[in-house]
Structure 1
Amino acid sequence: MRDPKKSGKASAGKPVSGRSAPGVSSDNSDGGYNAGMAVFSYIIGGIIVWSLIGWGLDYLWGTRWIVLAGALLGAVGGFYLSHMHGLTSSRKNAGERPAASGPSTDGDTNAK
Structure 2
Amino acid sequence: MRNPKKSDAAANAKRRSSGSAPVDSEASTDGGYNAGMAVFSYIIGGIIVWSLIGWGLDYLWGTRWIVLAGALLGAAGGFYISHMHGLTSSRTKADGRHAPSAPSQDGEDNAK
Q: Specify if TM > 0.5.
A: yes
SS in 2 for 1:92: coil
Alignment partners' CA distance in 2, 1:70 and 1:56: 10
Alignment partners' CA distance in 2, 1:27 and 1:76: 31
Gaps of 5+ in 2: 1-11, 17-24, 100-109
User: By how many angstroms is 1:28 displaced?
Assistant: 5.1
Q: Which protein has the bigger helix share?
A: 2
Q: 1:78 to 1:72 in 2, by over 3 A?
A: same
Alignment partners' CA distance in 1, 2:27 and 2:45: 24
Instruction: Tell me which residue corresponds to 1:85.
Output: 85
Q: 1:67 to 1:101 in 2, by over 3 A?
A: same
Alpha-carbon RMSD across the aligned residues, in angstroms, is: 2.8
Gaps of 5+ in 1: 1-8, 15-25, 103-112
Alignment partners' CA distance in 2, 1:28 and 1:89: 17
Q: 1:68 to 1:55 in 2, by over 3 A?
A: same
Instruction: Tell me which residue corresponds to 2:40.
Output: 40
SS in 2 for 1:49: helix
User: By how many angstroms is 1:92 displaced?
Assistant: 1.8
Q: Number of residues paired by the alignment?
A: 80
1:65-88 deviation line (CA, Å, top 9, x unaligned): 000000000000000000000000
- Matched AA of 1:75: A
Structure 1 outlier segments of 4+, above 2 Å:
26-31, 93-96
Q: 1:94 to 1:27 in 2, by over 3 A?
A: farther
User: By how many angstroms is 1:101 displaced?
Assistant: 4.2
TM-score, scaled relative to structure 1: 0.60
User: By how many angstroms is 1:94 displaced?
Assistant: 4.5
Instruction: Provide the identity percentage.
Output: 81
